[in-house]
Amino acid sequence: MGVAGRGVFLLMGVTIFGQADAQRTCVVADMENHVPIKEAVIHTNTGHWARTDYRGYFAMKYAFDSAKVSKPGYIPVTIHLAALPDTVFLLPAAHQIGEVEVWGENQHNVSVFEKDAGNAARTVPRPGGIQGDFLGWMDRRAVRDRKHYRKAKKIIAELDKETGDPIVDTYLQQKRADEERKLQAAEQEKAKKEREAAKLDDLKAREEAKIANQ
């Protein structure tokens, strides 16, 4: 290969490398006002970390397929290198608080609703003892699950809107699809719990009859 050929090959290599490197750079911004977000954390599926600067800019020099972008006060989002946009928009958590509470890991992040559920459950007379405590817990959980279902429906309705910004609209479409999958799973779980509730009603009736005969 001549000098000119080697030069072209080297130039192509530099160009390809530069493109690959450019694909690992991005800006993180607020979805509402498009203001860059500093100190957002990027955690890749390969275990590497990055943090945005005051311009909302980050560069990931390590290879990765996907990464989670998070910042306190915002809903985390997952990005993929194969379709990495120039700007990643984060939605303020205040507008999606139901999602955080309803769809926390294993649905355990429900402390916001436990007080209301407990108050509602305490208004229903229940038998005492170990069995009574168990039935009370089930009643509180039923109230909580109904709140989850209603909030999930509300979230999907809020996401079913267009902003006119193609990037934001694509993000909202992805979030809506995720919420619809979660809602479908919740509906299946709801049907299962309704079957369990029928058995529970029979158990509760037997417990109340037993206490009445004591």
Q: What is the CATH number of the domain that holds 47?
A: 2.60.40.1120
For residues 49 and 62, state if they share a domain: yes
Count the domains in the chain. 2
Co-location of 80 and 32 in the same domain: yes
Q: Is the domain of 115 the same as that of 191?
A: yes
Nearest to 110 by CA among 66, 163, 57, 149: 149
Answer whether residue 86 shows pLDDT above 50. Answer: yes
Crossing angle between the packed helical segments 129-159 and 111-122, to the nearest 10 degrees: 130
Residues 55 and 86 both lie in one domain: yes
pTM of the predicted model as reported, rounded to 2 decimal places: 0.38
Residue 169 pLDDT class (50, 70, 90 cuts): low
**Can you read off the two tokens belonging to residue 104?**
């926390």
Average pLDDT of the residues in 171-185: 75
Which domain does 79 fall in, by range?
A: 3-92
Q: Of the candidates 72, 92, 112, which is a domain's last residue?
A: 92
Q: How many CB atoms lie within 10 A of CB 50?
A: 22
Give the rounded distance of the alpha carbon of 80 from its chain centre. Answer: 16
pLDDT category at 116 given cuts 50, 70, 90 is very low
**How high does pLDDT run on average in the chain?**
69
* Across 7-21, 64-78, 199-213, least confident range: 7-21
Residues 116, 202 within the same domain:
yes
Q: What is the model's pLDDT at position 41? A: 94
What pLDDT, on a 0 to 100 scale, did the predictor assign at position 56?
92
Mean pLDDT of 184-188: 78
- 27 with 123, same domain? no
